Amino acid sequence: MERIGLVGTGFMGTTHANSYQEIDGAEIAAVASLDDERYTFAEEQTANADVYEDAAEMMNDADVTAVDICTPTPTHRPLVEAATERGLDVFCEKPLARTTTDADAIVEAVTDADVTFMTGHVLRYFPEYVEAKRRIDAGEVGSLGTLHTERLSSPPRYGTNSWFGDTEQSGGVLLDMAIHDFDYLRWIAGDVDRVFARTASWDDGHLNQHSSVTLRFENGVVGHVEASWGYPEGTPFTTSYEFAGDEGLLEFDSRDENSVRVSGGAEGTNAPSSPLATSPYTLELEHFVDCVSNGTEPDISPDDARQAVRIALAAIESSERGEAVSPAEVHT
């Protein structure tokens, strides 16, 4: 049984706490949070977890085997380093870090400590995206040519002290939300050579942003990612993709009754939507727990998480400079 020390009791902390309740091989043994409601959280979301205000104190004193970090992005590096110094395995929510310096430091820390480490790029566990990866790997669309994704919502209105609206902390829509698609597209198409982006920003009491990003992959594939925090409050969260190859096309739109549409030379029929028995967040945490218990490497490597950060930061820099930027050239 893996005993988890959960750091953070906000939206993602609650999501992870719900998932651990469904995982037989793990339990939340301790909770650390600066939130005044941390005791209430522990009472409602855990069985008998010890409660701490200071995460380092929790790592020192609580009987935990792994740490799950669900706190704002700038806190990830010091928390990961604190955990690895104590030999604890770590799950860290995305994005890995706010800067390339912090991302590099995290990768170095987890590598030197030889601990199990995984970042929460949960899109890889959503069934529509798993199915597309399976079909692409099976050659059903032939050689990939163009990739298009959308991830659209209203601005996030949760988070301690509205930290999402502070781009110095969150990185805005490109680092916090579009990074899901950056990681996924790199997973199916390989490394990115350069990025060109345009971002519109406005403030109505919350940070609104709408970004359009073009990715040129090293193998010549072209990707386009549209990401928005610019829709009115109450607008349904929307995701979609269109992956085209020289032998077929895969499409998905969360507004459509079909989870995956297939056309061209791709084999099989459209896949109808159906209720998901297990949350993708539970699936990713189950994988992490299994890796910790069995000493295996997670599907998402530290470098995968670092490269996703680099792509997002290249997109931010491109938006600011008005020119294409290579992720390899980004240094922050």
Over residues 189-216, the mean pLDDT reads 96
- Helix H or strand E encompassing 222: strand 222-228
Closest CA to 246 of 221, 225, 226, 271: 221
Please report the pLDDT score of residue 122 as a whole number: 98
Range of the domain at 175: 123-281+309-329
Task: With H, G, I as helix, E, B as strand and everything else as coil, classify residue 155.
Answer: coil
What are the tens digits of pLDDT across the range 169-200?
Answer: 999 999 999 999 999 999 999 999 999 999 99
Band of the pLDDT at 205, cuts 50, 70, 90? Answer: confident
Quick one: 167 exposed, middle or buried, by C-beta within 10 A (0-12, 13-18, 19+)?
Answer: middle
Q: Are strands 238-245 and 144-152 parallel, antiparallel or unpaired?
A: antiparallel
- Assess whether pLDDT exceeds 80 at residue 272: no
Residue 268 inside a domain? The answer is yes
Please report the pLDDT score of residue 81 as a whole number: 98
Number of domains in the chain: 2
Query: Which of residues 101 and 267 earns the better pLDDT score?
Result: 101
Over residues 116-133, the mean pLDDT reads 97
Residues 111 and 157 grouped into a single domain: no
Contact of 177 with 229, CB cutoff 8 Å: yes
Residues 13 and 110 grouped into a single domain: yes
Band of the pLDDT at 273, cuts 50, 70, 90? Answer: very low
Question: Alpha-carbon distance 254 to 238, whole Å?
Answer: 6
Give me the CATH number covering residue 168: 3.30.360.10
Give me the CATH number covering residue 51: 3.40.50.720
Residues 96 and 132 grouped into a single domain: no
Residue 291 inside a domain? The answer is no
Contact of 13 with 41, CB cutoff 8 Å: yes
Residues 72 and 179 grouped into a single domain: no
Over residues 44-55, the mean pLDDT reads 96
Rounded alpha-carbon distances, angstroms, from residue 167 to 114, 139, 306, 313: 32, 40, 19, 12
- Residue with tokens 């069934």, as numbered in its chain: 127
Q: Are strands 2-7 and 26-32 parallel, antiparallel or unpaired?
A: parallel
Mean pLDDT estimate for the chain = 94
Band of the pLDDT at 270, cuts 50, 70, 90? Answer: low
Over residues 214-240, the mean pLDDT reads 97
Over residues 7-22, the mean pLDDT reads 97
Residues 143 and 273 grouped into a single domain: yes
Closest CA to 50 of 59, 104, 22: 59
Residues 58 and 175 grouped into a single domain: no
Closest CA to 132 of 16, 250, 53, 35: 250
Q: 99-120 burial by CB neighbour count: b if 16+ within 10 A, else e?
A: bbebbbbbbebbeebebbbbbb
Residues 166 and 253 grouped into a single domain: yes
Rounded alpha-carbon distances, angstroms, from residue 305 to 10, 23, 186: 22, 24, 11
Out of 57, 90, 120, a domain closes at 120
Over residues 119-125, the mean pLDDT reads 98
Please report the pLDDT score of residue 260 as a whole number: 86
Residue 7 inside a domain? The answer is yes
pTM of the predicted protein model: 0.94
- Assess whether pLDDT exceeds 50 at residue 39: yes
Say whether the peptide bond before residue 127 is cis (omega within 30 degrees of 0): no
Residues 131 and 48 grouped into a single domain: no
- Assess whether pLDDT exceeds 90 at residue 69: yes
Over residues 75-91, the mean pLDDT reads 98
